[in-house]
Amino acid sequence: MAFEGLTERLQKAMEKLRRKPKVTEADLRETMREIRLALLEADVNFTVVKDFVKTVREKAAGAEVLKGLNPAQQIVKIVNDELTKLMGEEAVPLNKAAHIPTVIMMVGLQGAGKTTTAGKLALRLKNEDHARPMFIAADVYRPAAITQLQQVAAQIDVPVFEKGTDVDPVEIVREGMEVAKQNHNDYVIIDTAGRLQIDEQLMDELANIKELVHPDEILLVIDSMTGQNAVNTAQGFDDKLDITGVVLTKLDGDTRGGAAMSIRAVTGKPIKFVGEGEKMSDLDVFHPDRMASRILGMGDMMTLIEKAQKNFDEEQAQETMDKMRENTFDYNDFLAQMDQVTKMGPLENILKMMPGMANNPALKNVNLDPKQFAHIKAIVLSMTPAERENPDLMNPSRRRRLAAGSGRPIVEVNRMIKQFNQMRKMMKQVTNGNMSGMQNLFGG
Ligand code: GDP
């Protein structure tokens, strides 16, 4: 999980402070030292760390005047505010051209996630803007690159303009732009070549493409797992191409966090999106304030709520509520609910966005296996329509048949049915306004 070590260390530093009835000068120095070490260990750029700690120290010293407030909390707030500022304060939207097409050029080192991100971005534009994007395949050095772009494009139903690997990339882009104009595509996304490291020849080629099309957006795709190197890469690309934004990928991995915190400060360019998985839907807008709160282990409820809303079918929810009230919630509703939850992404990621959960030791080794969901589903799908509509039919012989039908052990079938019945009971109590049922469920 991203930021794990950093979150843990920052939380420890704050916790120590919290336990003191009065914060002395020496305590503050000690906390600053710990914050500094935590950031350096997370691979945050040295100069960035120095400036950051200096600002926090100054603000913390000034904050002593607010005697009424808990000093530890004041410092948490200062750290949170400064982290937010460091990462850019506000989310920065994609640039858009006054006249179509808006041209987005994807650049970055090989393996950073350029092609994947191009796909994610196109899907996002399609879903949110009803856009009709087109890709241009301008990486002519690896034949596999074109095939990969075509595969990504096929998944999301977006056309690709390509001319194989024997044509000059600048020429490909020139012809591609003509085709996009003829077809009235409103976005053109150019997938360019990457190398293992920055090299002059590639930079010249990218500069030539830039010269030709004057992109509205030059998005540098950066692998967040590469730490300090990510910052050097960003600087290299920015010096040559004057990029307009950054996409930080692989934030779902256990990146230490340095890139997220240094890139803006070092290049002055905003992180616009973050990639949090390999699926086409795993691209989120980068919100500095939410990221700060996530780094401090305070959760990211906003993103969680948005994810829920995006996947939420209002009509279905109303129907579920009605059924809960009428106590007619059955296995068909149960299936529909499971589908809604799985659409939000891996369960452990969802849990970790909740306040206090990111570093909760109870979650450390939790592996909410998606297979378990699949198993439950298999059991429900083995029911007859009558059984699904009438949960009270489940006698032992029917249970044995379900076990055989789903290929799951009978204990698992029994457990699932027991949990389902408990859930129904609780729903009835809750919708009747009797909350004691909830308390029982949580061991209260
Ligand atoms: P390119 O060489 O820059 O075009 O990189 P690719 O798009 O081919 O991506 C390289 C690898 O990184 C692929 O296996 C992708 O599935 C993976 N990848 C890209 N973005 C993410 C992300 O946000 N999270 C994870 N876990 N993997 C990613």
ipTM of model: 0.99
Q: Determine the distance separating the centroid of ligand 1 and the alpha carbon of 148, expressed in angstroms.
A: 11
Percentage of residues of the chain with pLDDT beyond 70: 82
CB within 8 A of 140, min separation 6: which ones?
164, 165, 166, 167, 168, 169, 172, 193
For residue 434, the model assigns a pLDDT of: 44
> Which of 278, 282, 284, 285 to mutate for ligand 1's pocket (most ligand atoms within 8 Å of CB)?
278
CB 439: neighbour CB atoms within 10 A?
10
For residue 441, the model assigns a pLDDT of: 35
Q: Which residues line ligand 1 (CB under 6 A)?
A: 108, 110-116, 148, 194, 221, 249-250, 252-253, 275-278, 282
For residue 62, the model assigns a pLDDT of: 73
Backbone angles phi, psi at 138, to 5 degrees: -110, 15
Q: Determine the distance separating the centroid of ligand 1 and the alpha carbon of 111, expressed in angstroms.
A: 6
Mean pLDDT of the chain, nearest integer = 85
Q: pTM for the full model?
A: 0.72
CB within 8 A of 134, min separation 6: which ones?
101, 158, 159, 160, 161, 176, 179, 180, 183, 185, 187, 188, 189
Which tops the pLDDT comparison, 63 or 126? Answer: 126
Domains in the chain with CATH codes? 4-86 (1.20.120.140), 102-296 (3.40.50.300), 307-441 (1.10.260.30)
Q: Is the pLDDT of residue 179 over 80?
A: yes
Q: Determine the distance separating the centroid of ligand 1 and the alpha carbon of 110, expressed in angstroms.
A: 9
Q: Determine the distance separating the centroid of ligand 1 and the alpha carbon of 176, expressed in angstroms.
A: 24
pLDDT bracket for residue 184 (50, 70, 90): very high
